[in-house]
Structures are given as structure tokens and as C-alpha cells.
Amino acid sequence: MTAKVLIPSGALGITYSKEALKEGLKNKPDIIVIDGGSTDSGPAYLGQGVSKYSRATTKSEWKALMEARASLNIPLVIGSAGTCGTNTSVDWFLKITQEIAKELGQKPKIAILKCSQSKTNIIDAFKKGSLKSLQFAPQISEELINDCTNIVGLAGVEQISKAINTGADIIIAGRSTDASLIASFPIMKGIDKGAAWHAGKIGECGAFCTTKPKTGVVIISFDKLGFIVEPMEKNSYATPDSVAAHMVYENSDPFILREPGGCLNVTEATYKKINKQAVRVEGSKWISDQSYTIKLEGAHIAGYQNLSMVLVRDKNYVENVDQWISQIKEKVEKLVSKTLGLGIKNYSLEFRLVGKNATLGPLERNNTLPCEIGVLGIVTAQNQHNAEEIGKILNPLLLHHSLFEDGELPTFAFPFSPPSFNLGAKYEFCLNHAIKLKDPMEIFQLEEL
């Protein structure tokens, strides 16, 4: 029982070393696997059902992988296609694949796994008590589920394996757990589930588990007792620390990883350097659940936004920017109430001070005074008209509001014209729940082309 999985990078669209890819192909992998998406950049992509990455970059990188696949006649798998893994993004990715195939003169067999969920079905599961809130999940209701613009179920090993078992050359999967993409083929070949799932977690971001994460390409080789992680870039190295540390990446527990159908326990795992570049891992365990559940992700429109930005450089205003912002906010609230008839429950006005605490807000502990601050004013309202109106009410105050009652009228710098612009719909994640399934394929659709 052996298997080799080649992972070109942590996500299609963030680039990888072409030389390292060539080196990886020399190792004769059994399958090429890559992740296509993430929730790292927030809920807008799921909300809209679109890709985060450039179509041109996606096509260029995928084309090289399709050529690599054909050179060895092995399967090529992508999960969370089009970033969010909705049916629309899977269809978008399929068109790119078909374009490339025509350009290369290839006629691959393609399987697509669709993961978008019917709101009617999810509401029905909610009513039956088949949904379970994950940690820190928001409160949900029938109305909130119905407001979702997109809902996806995260495919696991069972669904990805079903797609690979079609014998397809290329598998395009919707929203999938990162680790399941790598774990599926080894498990199909009889590799221990603990080793397969652990390798899936370690290799999910390609060379992130090595000393040169930007190179992308790693190969994970499986045998009866465990697996070996090896980067394909010549000057990149896997170390016991770099490999073990990836269990903490996007995971709250360094020893337990929850996945569809069970959890991975690496408490007794060992990490041993076997040569200059590679690390061997043994001792991982998979614990199956009594009932099979998968995670749901859903997003809805929470409002509409307008963004303003002004640059503040005057020393008096930089030193007293919090007071200045407070005064502006108070004036805006009075003007909005008077002119638009809206109370503060009908909208929000948020300021982020770039250069001071835009990232951490009140948690910031660096008190160094910057020479200038970029003030972002973010208006969120129930419709775009009101958001834009409030943004325009904010405009003259950002330009000329004086901190001092008897002081001279200041003028600050707008970096854009117009200085405020509409961001459109603001999306929020609203589903972070698990759904119990009788059959792993119950809410997924597999199509062969």
C-alpha cells in the first residue's frame, strides 16, 4: 500500500514554482491535488458566488497543471473551485477547463462535484433539528436561512473519493475541506485514515509546511506506517518543526482536527527528519463519528456600504484624531437624523485609522505617533441610497471640520475624486453549522462530462 500525492501550491491563483513542479513530476506522483479557494478574504465571494482570483492567472496556472496531468496520465483534482465553491463558480471553472482543453487539443474526461445547497432543504433540516451550531456560530432562523444568497456544504473524503472513482482525468469539486482533497486518494488505496488525514492537513497549503513557503510544490508519499513530506524546490526544506506547526494553522487545537465523519488526533504523532529535505510522520489516529455530519457555510446581505478616505497630516489633528473623529461622528448623527430622518439603529458609521490602529483597533499596544493617518469612514445602511447619502454628509466634515472651536478651518487631503464611493452589498457569514446526513452524497451532486 503506497501512494504519492503532488500538491502544487496552497491555492490555485497564488502562483508556484514551475521548476519545482517539473521536479515533482519526476517523482511519478499518482495524483495532482490543489485547493481552489478559501474564506480568508471574507464572505463576499460566497455571497456573490464569484472567484477571488484573476481569471487570467487561474487559467495560466491551471493550464500548466493540465499539461502536467496529461504528461503522466494521472488524475488532477481541484476543490473549492472558483474560491467559494458554489455551483456558479464550479461552472465558471469548468468553462476555463474546457477552453484550455481545446487550446491544448486534449479531450479529458471531467467529473464535477456540486456543493451548493437548496435553501428549502436547509430550512427543512433546521425545522427537524438536523442542524447543529458550531462554536461561535451566529443564531439562525428560517428567515435568515431564506435570506442567504448562497449556501454550500463542505465535501469530505467520501464525496471527493466518489468523484475520483468515476475514472475522470479532471475532477472539479465545489466547496471542500482542504485536508480531504489530499486524504481521499490515499484512503482509496488502503492507506491508514489517520496518516491520510494528517497528511492532508499538513499539505493543504503546499510548501507552507517548509522553509520556503512561496515555492509551492510538495510531494507527500504514503506507506503502511505513515507518510513523508518533501518539498520539490532544491533549496527548500521540511523540518519537524515546520511540519508539526501546520496543525496550528487555521486550527484552534494543535492535536485535534474536526473533519466530515470524524476527527484526526495527532497527540501521539512523531516527526522525524529522514534526510536534508524530508520529514517522516507516524502515529496519527482517525476517530470516526457515530453519525456523519458535514459543515455548512452560508452568507447573506447585511446592508450596503459607502467608503470615504481622507489623509490627515497636521500634527495637532494626528495627536487628537480620536477626538476629531468623535466630533465628526456626533455631527453626522445629528445631520442624518435631521435630513434623512434615520436613527443610529438604521445605519452604522465606522472609522478605521490607518497608521494608528486600523488592524487591531482598541487592542493595539503600539503607541508610537505616526506622521500621518489615513481615516477610513465606512457607512453601512439598509440600502445603497442611504449609505451614499450619509457618505456625502460625511464628506465636508472630513475635508474641513475644525477640532478647535476658534481655530482656523483646516483642509485635509482626499486621495480620490470622488472621495467617497459605493462598495455595494455588504455580506456576512450567517451559517456555520453542521448538518447530519444519512448518506454522504445526500446533498451533493456528481456529474460526469
Per-residue pLDDT tens digits for 199-245: 999 999 999 999 998 888 999 999 999 999 999 998 999 999 999 99
Measure the CA–CA gap between 33 and 333, rounded to whole angstroms. 52
pLDDT band at 383 (very low <50, low <70, confident <90, very high): very high
**Within this chain, do residues 32 and 158 fall inside the same structural domain, yes or no?**
yes
User: Is residue 70, in this structure, part of any structural domain at all?
Assistant: yes
Per-residue pLDDT at 38 exceeds 90: no
CATH number of the domain where residue 369 is located: 3.30.70
Provide the greatest CA pair distance for the chain.
Answer: 82
User: Is residue 125, in this structure, part of any structural domain at all?
Assistant: no
User: Is residue 352, in this structure, part of any structural domain at all?
Assistant: yes
Q: How many other C-beta atoms lie within 10 A of the C-beta of residue 37? A: 29
**Within this chain, do residues 341 and 393 fall inside the same structural domain, yes or no?**
yes
What's the confidence (pLDDT) of residue 100?
A: 98
Per-residue pLDDT at 405 exceeds 90: no
CB 119 within 8 A of CB 179: no
Domain termination site, one of 263, 289, 315: 289
Per-residue pLDDT at 320 exceeds 90: yes
Question: Residue 279: which domain range?
Answer: 3-115+154-289
Distances (CA, A) of 447 to 17, 229, 257: 32, 33, 30
**Within this chain, do residues 277 and 313 fall inside the same structural domain, yes or no?**
no
Name the grid cell of 234: 532544491
User: Is residue 128, in this structure, part of any structural domain at all?
Assistant: no
Per-residue pLDDT at 151 exceeds 90: yes
H-type helices in 268-414, by residue range? Answer: 315-319, 321-339, 384-400
Name the grid cell of 171: 475532477
Per-residue pLDDT at 335 exceeds 90: yes
Number of domains present in the structure of the chain: 2
Q: For residues 412-436, give the mean pLDDT.
A: 95
User: Is residue 294, in this structure, part of any structural domain at all?
Assistant: no
Q: What angle, 0 to 180 degrees and rounded to 10, lies between the N-to-C axes of helices 157-164 and 178-188?
A: 60
**Within this chain, do residues 392 and 315 fall inside the same structural domain, yes or no?**
yes
**Within this chain, do residues 98 and 205 fall inside the same structural domain, yes or no?**
yes
Q: For residues 340-365, give the mean pLDDT.
A: 95
User: Is residue 449, in this structure, part of any structural domain at all?
Assistant: no
What's the confidence (pLDDT) of residue 367?
A: 86
Residue type, 311: L
**Within this chain, do residues 307 and 279 fall inside the same structural domain, yes or no?**
no
What's the confidence (pLDDT) of residue 214?
A: 86
CB 391 within 8 A of CB 306: yes
Over pLDDT 90: what percentage of the chain?
92
**Within this chain, do residues 82 and 184 fall inside the same structural domain, yes or no?**
yes
Measure the CA–CA gap between 273 and 382, rounded to whole angstroms. 56
**Within this chain, do residues 355 and 422 fall inside the same structural domain, yes or no?**
yes
**Torsion angle, CA of 158/80/106/13, rounded to 10 degrees?**
-140
Element (H, E) at 435: strand 420-437
pLDDT one-digit tens code per residue, 248-278: 988 889 999 999 999 999 999 999 999 999 9
What's the confidence (pLDDT) of residue 402?
A: 93
Per-residue pLDDT at 407 exceeds 80: no
**Within this chain, do residues 307 and 280 fall inside the same structural domain, yes or no?**
no
Measure the CA–CA gap between 326 and 181, rounded to whole angstroms. 49
CB 449 within 8 A of CB 111: yes
What is the chain's mean pLDDT, rounded?
Answer: 95
What's the chain's length in residues? 449
Element (H, E) at 84: none
Least confident of 12-16, 64-68, 91-95, 223-227: 12-16
**Within this chain, do residues 327 and 269 fall inside the same structural domain, yes or no?**
no
What's the confidence (pLDDT) of residue 40?
A: 85
What's the confidence (pLDDT) of residue 135?
A: 87
What's the confidence (pLDDT) of residue 158?
A: 98
**Within this chain, do residues 88 and 214 fall inside the same structural domain, yes or no?**
yes
User: Is residue 445, in this structure, part of any structural domain at all?
Assistant: no
The whole-model pTM stands at 0.94
Distances (CA, A) of 129 to 126, 206, 301, 437: 5, 38, 25, 12
**Within this chain, do residues 21 and 59 fall inside the same structural domain, yes or no?**
yes
CB 230 within 8 A of CB 238: yes
